[in-house]
Amino acid sequence: MTLDKRLGQRFLPYGANYLAWSDMSELREVVEQKVLFRYQTESESMASRLERTVADRLGAAHALAVHNCTEALRLCLISTRPSIGDVVYVPAVTFVAVAGAVLSCGLIPVLVDADESLSMDPTLLPPDARRVVVAHMEGTVARVPRDVPYVIEDCAQSLGARLPDGRHAGTAGYAGTYSFHHNKVLTSGEGGLIVTSDREAWARMRSYHDHGSARVPGRYPTWDADAHYGENFVTSEEVAAVQSQQFRHLDEVLAGLERMYAIAMELLPDRPDLRVLPRAAGDAKVSLRFRWESRELRDAAVDALTARGIANWTLDKYLLPDHPVLKARRSLYADGFPWSHAPDRPLAVSRDGFARTRDLLDRTLCVPLSPELPEQEQIVAAKTVCQVLEVV
């Protein structure tokens, strides 16, 4: 396979490039023990070990492993003990799973417009906001609002990123959620994590994620007299084992991204019609984000990069005001639940009806970086991207 082909279309996410049988000691241990359910192990489960590692690494008091990040968001929201129809302020620019998690809890998403970085603009939040989901998209650390009782940080695309004060993204608010989906910093195909420093919140989440039980490892679940209902979001030992292997490479992945980002920033073409969106020191440098002077130039760049086999993507699909799930307000419930409980007021906060945000998205293009490559190959990859952009 030629170097140009290897540096082109990225079929694997960042962490997947570090998957290797020779490095899967945790998975081998789980298979050799022949117990794949986390609450049936005789000693500490792999899932518990993963949670302890995550909490220590990210500076949180508690962690909980679940099936995916959407479940993680749901658990965080449910643990706030809301009422049906309560509103949750969510970014206008994010994956639809955020709104889906809110709706599946019987709550109502209110879309909040973006700032120049395409993150939620917290200055638009009303003073009485109680529940807010902040999404750290594309490795970019968003501003976290203050004086909101329940701020949930969605770090699905930003594992390892740090806030300006040095804390890890996901640890500044009520709780933080992370994803191990295929196209994330680390991957186990699917998988989610929650961190929180609120012990009572963690206890509610842990109980709800296992049918409302008071689980003792190695035994059938029991229920306290005041138990509430729950669901089954319990992760398995083999998934936790893959995630543990991936977590061992987090610093390596982040360092490789930082190195290639620095290389690319030195090589990028100097064009008056092209601007590179700057990344803060704490951002996870998962990609280069370009903003063109017009959508026509952006689309021409997409065509040119794609023709060379260089992976790239646009962000138009993340604009939730235009997403059919939000626009149509359809529901599988006959009575339209939970939309039937929506308050009688606008469910969006924007200064201009999202016109500015649409324009920014129309002109934005992302190119992923390759942390697993040696430095010399990263240089070649960055030069290839720059050569294509120079002639658009």
Q: Which residues are catalytic?
A: 184
CA distance 206 to 201: 9
Closest CA to 380 of 1, 2, 11: 2
Instruction: Determine contact, residues 97/73, Cβ cutoff 8 Å.
Output: yes
Residue 17: both structure tokens together: 């490039």
| In contact, 159 and 171? CB cutoff 8 Å | no
Cα(30)–Cα(238) distance, integer angstroms = 6
Quick check: 89 and 112 in contact, CB under 8 A? Answer: yes
The letter for the amino acid at 121 is D
Bridge partners, 93 (sequence order): 319
CA distance linking residue 201 with residue 120, whole number of Å: 25
- In the numeric block, which tokens belong to residue 96? 């639809």
Structure tokens, 233: 């979001």
Q: Calculate the CA 338 to chain-centre distance.
A: 25
Q: How many angstroms separate the CA atoms of 346 and 333, rounded?
A: 22
